[in-house]
Chain A
Amino acid sequence: MAERLRIYRELVRAQVRGQASYRLSFALDLLGNLLFFGSDLIAVLVVFRQVPALGGFSLRETLVVFGLAATGFALADLAVGNIERMKMYVRTGLLDAVLIRPLGVLGQLLALDVGVRRIGRVVYSMLLLVVALDAADVRLTPVRVLMLVLTPLSAAVFFCAFFVATSTVAFWWVESGELSNSLTYGGRDFTSYPMPVYGTWLRRFFGFALGFGFVSYYPSLVVLGRADPLGAPAWLSWSGPAVAALAATVAWLIWRTGVRHYRSTGS
């Protein structure tokens, strides 16, 4: 086990060295990630120029919801975001090379391209969360601090599960296009606003059936110290870790089935 960990560590270290050696490209990528993250934030700010509150939530409260989701997503993107390139791995035959090595397939693929560049987004979203908490006048109590630590972590696990599960589509359908991303990124957009904004069935589908409601909205109610305008019980806010664990299990099962059913494209 220790030997295996060492090999993974070496793989990651080689990646980091490789990415950092192209200085200009690395700097541009950091900047680009800031732009992308910034554009989501600007969209929320511009929308709130028109109205004092959305779905009963003020801008400052919405930014807490947004910040929690963004931090979780950024962490997940840092860890497993490159799994999106699964299609390419399948098409180019890289996956075949990985499969014959005596190491875990998923672990190898993740170590192949750790997104050091995406570290910027983690930093920005954490900063935003701190600013939002301050702006929304959140008084920190032990319970809220616990929630503030738990939520981004379980959100990250949850998003990781989605990245892995949706990338598995490539095992069956190589040219799946952006289809698999629409759920992951759609889910991220869903978590950026408070749930009462959305219509009933969209809330049921994204919020409960897929579980995105537990990524940021329900936990944020505890942090903001307010009740759910839709009347959900208070304990629901604490189900984030359980939902994340469930999502991770399902994703792992899907992944395992995918690897077993995988037939090379022959390239």
Chain B
Amino acid sequence: MAALIRTLGASGFRRFATYRQATVAATVTNSVFGLLRTYVMLAVSAAATATGAAAAGYSGEQLVLYVWAGQGLIGVVMLWGWTDLADRIRSGDVVIDLLRPVDPVFAFLAADLGRALYAVLTRFAVPIVTGALIFDMYLPRRPATYPLFLLSALLATVVSFACRFLANATCYWLLDYRGVGMAWAVFSGLCGGLFFPIRFLPDWAAALLWFGTPGPSLLQAPLDVLTERDGWAVQLGILGIQAAWAVLLLWLCRVVQRRAERRLVVQGG
């Protein structure tokens, strides 16, 4: 089993390591948007400080870390651009996956984790360094934050994978992925904490998003853990919510996958 995970993961890693130009292009793009977002956040922080309050509890330096770590994490949790399953459903190749002795959900997940590892080394590292060179960036002070952040980023990748898998799986029934893909892109950007920190929202709305949707578990969770906005108890609570979403969504993926397989059999594919 462990050997299988390693093999599938390594194939995911290698596949993305061959798209070097794409990695460079994506990193540059993320950095341009990082610059624009940083200035907006710094202006918010300055205006809030002038009235004697911190913006939703973040200092300016914490917001800088929030923005640049967020730009890096886009590539790791991979919010956009994953249509592997939808493509295979449309072309019919998905039937081949069923013949393999590995659960498709598990196989896709292992490959995705390999891809995420490659992204940590490239797409995550570059924006962090860029942001730190240009701006005064907060660096975590509690040693425990680093392993907690790694764990949170891993859980975020799993939650993101499960969401993407479910969105792609709608193709079994709808055949066209574009509408669902667009809804997912908007949802993950707005409710994931990319366009603005979820803490900027009223408390009731933030709570609704944390507990009612997997959104904040995508980016907001690892970013809040990393910026040390809260004490370690809250950090652990955040990890708990993420873990709950990861388990729930992976279970849903398996249920949906089994239903879809039955449907394929009925169609005689």
Taking Cβ atoms with an 8 Å cutoff, the residues of A that contact B are 25, 28-29, 31-32, 35-36, 38-39, 42-43, 46-47, 49-55, 173, 175-179, 181-183, 186, 189-190, 193, 197-199, 202
Known: A46-B201, A49-B200, A50-B44. A197 touches B186 (CB 8 A): no
Q: Is the CB of A54 within 8 A of B26?
A: no
Contact of B29 with A by CB under 8 A: yes
Q: Is the CB of A51 within 8 A of B44?
A: yes
Q: Is the CB of B195 within 8 A of A43?
A: yes
Known: A35-B183, A197-B43. A50 touches B200 (CB 8 A): yes
Taking CB atoms, residues of chain A closer than 8 Å to B202 are 49
- Interface residues in B10-63 (C-beta closer than 8 Å to A): 21-22, 24-26, 28-29, 32-33, 35-36, 39-40, 43-44, 47-48, 51, 55-56
Q: Is the CB of B48 within 8 A of A176?
A: no
A-B contact pairs, 22 of them (CB 8 A): A25-B176, A28-B178, A35-B182, A35-B183, A38-B186, A39-B189, A39-B190, A42-B190, A43-B196, A49-B200, A49-B201, A50-B44, A51-B55, A52-B51, A54-B47, A177-B25, A177-B26, A178-B29, A182-B32, A186-B36, A193-B40, A202-B39
Known: A197-B39, A198-B39. A51 touches B47 (CB 8 A): yes
Kindly state the separation between the CA atoms of A177 and B202 in the bound complex, as whole angstroms. Answer: 37
Taking CB atoms, residues of chain B closer than 8 Å to A189 are 33, 36
Contact of B269 with A by CB under 8 A: no
Shortest beta-carbon distance from A169 to chain B in Å: 10
Q: Is the CB of B178 within 8 A of A202?
A: no
SS class of chain A's interface: helix, strand, loop or mixed?
Answer: helix
Tally chain B residues at the interface, Cβ within 8 Å: 34
Taking CB atoms, residues of chain B closer than 8 Å to A50 are 44, 47-48, 55-56, 200
Shortest beta-carbon distance from B223 to chain A in Å: 16
Kindly state the separation between the CA atoms of A198 and B40 in the bound complex, as whole angstroms. Answer: 7
Chain A residue at minimal CB-CB distance from B134: A199
Kindly state the separation between the CA atoms of A186 and B35 in the bound complex, as whole angstroms. Answer: 10
Taking CB atoms, residues of chain B closer than 8 Å to A53 are 47
Known: A50-B48, A178-B26, A193-B40. A36 touches B186 (CB 8 A): yes
Taking CB atoms, residues of chain B closer than 8 Å to A43 are 190, 195-196
Shortest beta-carbon distance from B59 to chain A in Å: 13
Q: Is the CB of A54 within 8 A of B179?
A: no
Known: A39-B190, A52-B47. A178 touches B25 (CB 8 A): yes
Chain B residue at minimal CB-CB distance from A186: B32
Taking CB atoms, residues of chain A closer than 8 Å to B176 are 25
Q: Indicate the member of A55, A178, A186 with the most B CB atoms within 10 Å.
A: A178
A47: contacting residue among B35, B40, B185, CB under 8 A:
B40
Kindly state the separation between the CA atoms of A199 and B35 in the bound complex, as whole angstroms. Answer: 9
Q: Is the CB of B33 within 8 A of A54?
A: no
Taking CB atoms, residues of chain B closer than 8 Å to A197 are 39-40, 43
Kindly state the separation between the CA atoms of A183 and B32 in the bound complex, as whole angstroms. Answer: 8
Taking CB atoms, residues of chain B closer than 8 Å to A42 are 190, 195
Q: Is the CB of B182 within 8 A of A32?
A: yes
Kindly state the separation between the CA atoms of A190 and B33 in the bound complex, as whole angstroms. Answer: 9
3 closest cross-chain pairs (CB), A and B: A177-B25, A51-B47, A32-B182
Kindly state the separation between the CA atoms of A209 and B35 in the bound complex, as whole angstroms. Answer: 16
Kindly state the separation between the CA atoms of A136 and B80 in the bound complex, as whole angstroms. Answer: 36
